[in-house]
Amino acid sequence: MASTLTESTLLTKEQTGRRYIGEFLAAMHYHDPDLQNTIKLMRKKLVEIQRRTEAAKKPPTVRKLIIKFGGSSTSLPIAHPHSETLVISGDHNSKTLTCKRQKINETDHMMQLNDSTPPVFLENPKVVNVMDFIESIGGSDAELVIEKMLTRTDVTVNQGRLLIPVLKVCSQGFLTADEKILLGKKQDISVPVFDPKRRKLMLNLAKWSMSKECFVLKTNWNQVVKTNRFKEGTMIRVLSFRVHYKLCFALDRVI
């Protein structure tokens, strides 16, 4: 019975639609030897117009998520050709988050997520235990690289690097064979480094042959020193870990 009512209702709508189209054509004094075919074509066009109108009312798909917290921000790109940016911002002293949309031009550059793309990290606004933090962003194979008291040259602006003497490295297994080859060829490796407040910066890992061999974290190291107020005598730990096989580092302040 329910099926019959539904079919009847649909038939009534079909007949009503045909009648309206017929009256419209008659009002225009339009004569067509194949009136039924004309009505069919017009109904098809009207359905297409209705579909486009409904699609235009749908909210755009977000293709980029930007999280701003405590003066720093992290961008999470999402592959989609027609969309906006969703910005979520907040403050360490606030329990609320602000959400707003920003339009993006079709010509804007968008990172395509593929096997060659480095993993995307979200900053943790809370200073949590370093091992818990590594686990929270999908990290694994965490190892202590070195515990070091920063020297004067480690925090001098014109030096701009953290020296990690090879002989003082706690575990020599934090590098893969391919990474060792690259460093041996004097090539830098770009690595994400998370400071004690779990903010991420991209640094370069290199290997220098001085009076003794040293690993070096450079490029943006001065920013790490400045934002964390590192000074000569500050004791830090450097830990290595992997996210989707990508080499990463986390810094922890001891004293």
169 and 215 Cβ atoms separated by less than 8 Å: yes
On whether both 44 and 91 belong to a single domain, the answer is no
On whether both 192 and 220 belong to a single domain, the answer is yes
Rounded-to-integer distance, Cα 86 and Cα 64, Å? 6
pLDDT at 53: 74
pLDDT at 139: 92
On whether both 147 and 245 belong to a single domain, the answer is yes
Rounded-to-integer distance, Cα 74 and Cα 72, Å? 7
Report yes or no on 121 lying in a domain: no
On whether both 52 and 70 belong to a single domain, the answer is no
On whether both 43 and 74 belong to a single domain, the answer is no
On whether both 21 and 83 belong to a single domain, the answer is no
135 and 127 Cβ atoms separated by less than 8 Å: no
The CATH number covering residue 208 comes to: 2.40.330.10
The answer, as to whether pTM is greater than 0.85, is no
pLDDT at 33: 65
Mean per-residue pLDDT pooled into runs of 10, the chain (255 residues)? 52 66 67 68 76 67 53 51 48 46 42 38 58 91 94 95 94 90 94 94 93 93 96 95 94 89
pLDDT at 129: 86
Q: At CA 175, angle to CA 174 and CA 178, rounded to 5?
A: 160
Rounded-to-integer distance, Cα 155 and Cα 68, Å? 28
Of 36, 57, 78, which residue sits at a domain end?
57
On whether both 31 and 89 belong to a single domain, the answer is no
Rounded-to-integer distance, Cα 165 and Cα 146, Å? 9
Q: What is the DSSP string of 192-236?
A: EEE-TT--EEEEEEEEEESSSEEEEEESSHHHHHHHHT--TT-EE
How would you class 104 by CB atoms within 10 Å of its CB: exposed for 0-12, middle for 13-18, buried for 19 or more?
middle
On whether both 80 and 162 belong to a single domain, the answer is no
Nearest to 173 by CA among 113, 241, 125: 241
Structure-token pair, residue 79: 């592959």
pLDDT at 23: 73
How many beta carbons lie within 10 A of that of residue 123, not counting itself? Answer: 20
Range of the domain at 91: 61-103
On whether both 203 and 137 belong to a single domain, the answer is yes
On whether both 137 and 245 belong to a single domain, the answer is yes
Report yes or no on 118 lying in a domain: no
pLDDT at 19: 72
DSSP letter (8 states) at residue 125: S
Q: At CA 148, angle to CA 143 and CA 152, rounded to 5?
A: 145
On whether both 65 and 41 belong to a single domain, the answer is no
13 and 21 Cβ atoms separated by less than 8 Å: no
Number of structural domains found in the chain: 3
Rounded-to-integer distance, Cα 240 and Cα 193, Å? 9
100 and 123 Cβ atoms separated by less than 8 Å: no
